[in-house]
Amino acid sequence: MIKKVIPLCLMVISIVLMALPFGVAMTFYSSGSPDVETVTRYYSYFDTFIIWASGNTFPSVIAYSSIGMSIGYLFGLLIKKRPEKDKMKSMIVLFILLFLLPVSSILSWVAFNTISIVAVIVFILHIASILLSMFIYFKERKRKLRAKGS
């Protein structure tokens, strides 16, 4: 059971990091040419100013999706008696959504040409959560299939 909680803990740590005020770097240019002067400001993933000032919706999508997936993963841990078919479908959806979080981070970095150390750490935590979740799920599934076959 403790192994199953580790990916959830990684997601919660990433949510805490996203709440910090220096998660998303935004570069603003002066009114002259872009080579003259640039100012980089840092915002929380949950700050709505990012969307209205630059159109960068990726941080908000990442933040709120992380919260939703953490809640869904927690419910999945708490609900013990579910049919195996339903468990398989929900895990596939979870893996797809978890995969979209790091992809959104990369798209945000490329499209807006900004990156911060907190964003990199959040990215690494999401990747680790995906890999651990998949490893735990497939290891458990393999164990159940072997037990069923015996």
Q: What is the pTM of this model?
A: 0.83
Is residue 150 in a domain?
no
Task: State the pLDDT at residue 33.
Answer: 65
Task: State the pLDDT at residue 15.
Answer: 94
For the stretch 67-118, pLDDT in tens is 998 898 888 778 777 676 677 777 788 888 888 889 999 988 888 888 889 9
Residue from 47, 57, 64, 60 nearest 11 by CA: 64
Residue 74 tokens, joined: 């927690």
Q: Give the residue-averaged pLDDT of 37-44.
A: 82
What single-letter amino acid sits at 77? L
Q: Give the residue-averaged pLDDT of 47-73.
A: 83
Between CA 100 and CA 108 the distance in angstroms is 12
Which stretch of 32-36, 51-55, 67-71, 94-98 has the lowest confidence by average pLDDT? Answer: 32-36
> Whole-number mean pLDDT of the chain?
83
Q: 25 pairs with which residues across the strands?
A: 42
Task: State the pLDDT at residue 35.
Answer: 65
Is residue 101 in a domain?
yes
Counting residues of the chain whose pLDDT is more than 90, the rounded percentage is 23
Is residue 148 in a domain?
no
Is residue 76 in a domain?
yes
Is residue 26 in a domain?
yes
Grade residue 120 by pLDDT with cuts at 50, 70 and 90: very high
Residue 133 tokens, joined: 């979740």
Which range marks the domain in which residue 72 is found? 2-143
Are 103 and 38 in contact by the 8 Å Cβ rule? The answer is no
Counting the structural domains of the chain, the total is 1
Classify burial at 40, counting beta carbons within 10 Å of its beta carbon; exposed 0-12, middle 13-18, buried 19 or more.
exposed
End-to-end CA distance of the chain: 24
Is residue 149 in a domain?
no
Helix (H, G, I), strand (E, B) or coil at 25: strand
